[in-house]
């Protein structure tokens, strides 16, 4: 076996080991999980997630997922908790503690303190008979037979299992809350995912110049309009309504047929009945029109009148593509 083949073999074994463990989690789900979800959903407080070591890293990711899907959550490191950070737990908060063994020294110190506060405690652990498992109000079983690490030591499969349970928890809560794509956009206004959900055609068109000519505009002036507005296109308007469109492609095709353009007008070379889109449509819908028709520019309209231009490059720049 070559070194490359050995590497691929180990990688495939790692993936298969973790995949098998994740598939087995479905068999471990019970009423504890359903009750834990309901406890979080009905809580008037936040979700405080804690852990130590690699479990702490997983906790921070679950916190991020919950926050982005409508469930307020904060991270509290288990080691820092017993040195002052316990003050971050409020009366109505639900606490989720993540630990593979459920028996680490920090967990044994932390859990009784949480119980004394009277907060609901949810455990994500691979050992339901552990100290954490026995103290928790609800246990989410993340048991795995072995780590993907050949020495069965480095947290690999176990942390993946914890992460998947956290995702399942977040998705169930999302479902209960009726969390919509519009809600998602509110929490992701700066990202490309959010832009796909809130950015409108008008937002794009307003950034661009507004090229326009009439059917009687001489072609040399049409070329100047297209060049000056730098969108590779101009609308052809009659009484403020779109009657056609001239693109730089139309100009090139015209010049291939004849170099004498002195008597030609926009009406002679325009494409009638161009594709348009309403200005209040979503930008992602404009992308669909562009792709379906294999074009680079799209004219926007509002109340039946010319509003502006959306260019494929605008959508690329905004991260819609």
Annotated binding site for Zn(2+): which residue ranges? Answer: 77
Q: Sign (positive/negative) of CA torsion 225, 279, 298, 216?
A: negative
Q: Which residues contact 113 (CB under 8 A, 6 or more apart)?
A: 81, 82, 86
Task: Kindly state the tokens that stand for 227.
Answer: 């060049």
The residue to which tokens 């050992």 are assigned: 127
Beta strands in 56-172 (DSSP E): 73-77, 94-99, 120-125, 138-141
Q: How far apart are CA 94 and CA 252, in angstroms?
A: 66
Q: How far apart are CA 198 and CA 200, in angstroms?
A: 6
Instruction: For residue 270, give the DSSP letter.
Output: P
For the chain, what is the largest distance between any 2 Cα atoms, rounded to a whole number of angstroms?
91
Task: Kindly state the tokens that stand for 84.
Answer: 């002052």
Q: How far apart are CA 78 and CA 75, in angstroms?
A: 9
Instruction: Provide the annotated binding site.
Output: 77
Give, in degrees to the nearest 5, the angle at Cα 170 between 165 and 175. Answer: 125
């Amino acid at each position: 076996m070559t070194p490359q083949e050995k590497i691929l073999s180990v990688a495939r074994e790692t993936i298969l080991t973790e995949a098998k463990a994740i598939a087995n989690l479905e068999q471990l789900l019970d009423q504890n999980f359903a009750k834990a979800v309901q406890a979080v959903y009905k809580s008037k407080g936040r979700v405080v997630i804690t852990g130590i070591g690699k479990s702490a890293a997983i906790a921070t990711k679950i916190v991020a997922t919950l926050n982005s899907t409508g469930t307020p959550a904060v991270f509290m490191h288990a080691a820092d908790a017993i040195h002052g950070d316990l003050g971050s737990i409020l009366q109505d908060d639900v606490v989720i503690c993540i630990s593979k063994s459920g028996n680490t020294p920090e967990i044994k110190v932390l859990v009784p303190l949480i119980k004394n506060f009277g907060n609901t405690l949810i455990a994500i652990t691979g050992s339901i008979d552990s100290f954490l498992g026995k103290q928790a109000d609800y246990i989410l079983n993340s048991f795995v037979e072995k780590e993907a690490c050949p020495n069965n030591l480095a947290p690999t499969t176990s942390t993946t299992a914890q992460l998947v349970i956290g995702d399942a928890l977040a998705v169930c809560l999302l479902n209960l809350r009726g969390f919509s794509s519009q809600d998602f956009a509110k929490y992701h206004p700066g990202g490309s995912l959010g832009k796909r959900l809130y950015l409108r055609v008008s937002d794009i068109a307003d950034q661009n110049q507004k090229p326009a000519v009439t059917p009687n505009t001489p072609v040399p002036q049409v070329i100047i309009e297209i060049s000056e507005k730098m969108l590779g296109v101009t609308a052809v308007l009659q009484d403020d309504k779109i009657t056609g469109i001239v693109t730089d492609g139309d100009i090139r095709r015209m010049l291939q047929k004849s170099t004498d353009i002195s008597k030609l007008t926009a009406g002679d070379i325009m494409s009638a009945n161009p594709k348009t889109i309403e200005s209040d449509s979503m930008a992602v819908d404009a992308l669909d029109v562009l792709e379906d028709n294999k074009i680079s520019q799209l004219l926007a309209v509002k109340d039946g009148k010319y509003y502006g231009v959306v260019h494929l490059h605008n959508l690329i720049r905004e991260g819609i593509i």
